[in-house]
Amino acid sequence: MISIKGLSKYFTSNKQRITAVDDLTLNIKEGEIFGVIGYSGAGKSTFVRLLNRLEDPSDGQVVIDNQEITKLNAKKLRLARQEIGMIFQHFNLLWSRTVRDNIAFPLEIAGVAKAERQERVQELINLVGLSGREDAYPSQLSGGQKQRVGIARSLANNPKVLLCDEATSALDPETTNSILDLLVDINEKLGLTIILITHEMHVIRKICNQVAVMEQGKIVEQGEVLDVFRRPKETVTRKFVEQVMGADDEDESVSHLIDTYDQGIIIRLHFIGETANQALISQVAKKFDIAINILQGKITQTQAAAYGTLFVQVEGDSEEINRAVSFIHDETSVEVEVVRHAE
């Protein structure tokens, strides 16, 4: 659907060249919700503006639905942009226009007839949950309602791609979740490909299929969200994961558990996907003559699946403990590791 090759953007400041996007290459599948995360200055907002040529690239190419955006002349680019919707952090609404008229604006520019325009606007108002607010002005709306207007406006021309540049950064957590739920609903109903730019890992965790991590204009890590959460490779990625999971000083944690609990064995269980929601502990406790004490753990939910880690202390006859550990290893999809053996 979207192919990006060798994309770069340079700016000149005080006779020095500044690289905002540096030789970036990506492929994004049709219908995917693809997240791009990075701290301020990483180049992510410049990157998203290159996709619809609000910024012209210095090098490289962008191909969307078999059309090379980077080679289009002004007239063809205007037509191509109708298939690329965009929503912004600060809404960018026309303050002198009502909700209805804001949504209708891109249709007016496209020359859509009035009757068809009115019908389309009402469809979008219903889709984004703004029924009854059609005649309100932006100053009369909450932040979440303003962003819903922005989303509806971006969908007016039936785009194939929706670009979201920090679309929830100006919103409170509850409103953020409602907007993310709306984006998922739109993705499922319309089959839109969504590219989500953010600096908040919980946004990536909640709705994205894939994520690319940007730092100093480059993509330093990329993959399925669940894999990136489970095994972050780069320092910047680990910092983002800690936004959701907390700092993971696992070696220190294991040492503390070993020093604190001196009976039985201590095992670490890794839950992935459906197993994160299974009652494994109670199942094992009933099946084997052992005592299980949950020491600590954490679990999170990504768009693809849940995952988490649990430390437990197991006491009982050593042979029975071994049978229980073998059962978990052989008969379930939970990964098990003995981190402290019986004395």
Inter-CA distances, 127 with 98, 130, 166, Å = 17, 8, 21
DSSP at 276: G
pLDDT (0 to 100) of residue 85: 94
pLDDT (0 to 100) of residue 297: 77
Residue 189 falls in which region: left (phi positive, over 0), alpha (psi -120 to 50) or beta? alpha
16-28 β-sheet, strand order: 16-28, 2-13, 59-64, 67-68
Instruction: Yes or no: say if 213 and 220 are a contact pair by the CB < 8 Å rule.
Output: yes
Q: What is the pLDDT of residues 290-304, one digit of tens each?
A: 999 888 877 777 776
State the pLDDT confidence band at 250, using cuts at 50, 70 and 90.
low
pLDDT (0 to 100) of residue 58: 94
Mean local confidence (pLDDT), 16-30: 93
Q: What is the pLDDT of residues 264-281, one digit of tens each?
A: 888 888 877 655 555 788
Residue 331 CB-density burial (10 A; 0-12 exposed, 13-18 middle, 19+ buried): exposed
Q: Which residues pair with 266 in a beta bridge?
A: 313, 340
**Other residues' Cβ atoms within 10 Å of the Cβ of residue 165:** 21
**65 pLDDT above the threshold of 60:** yes
**248 pLDDT above the threshold of 90:** no
Structural domains of the chain in order of their starting residue, each with its CATH number: 2-243 (3.40.50.300), 250-340 (3.30.70.260)
pTM for the whole structure = 0.82
pLDDT (0 to 100) of residue 160: 94
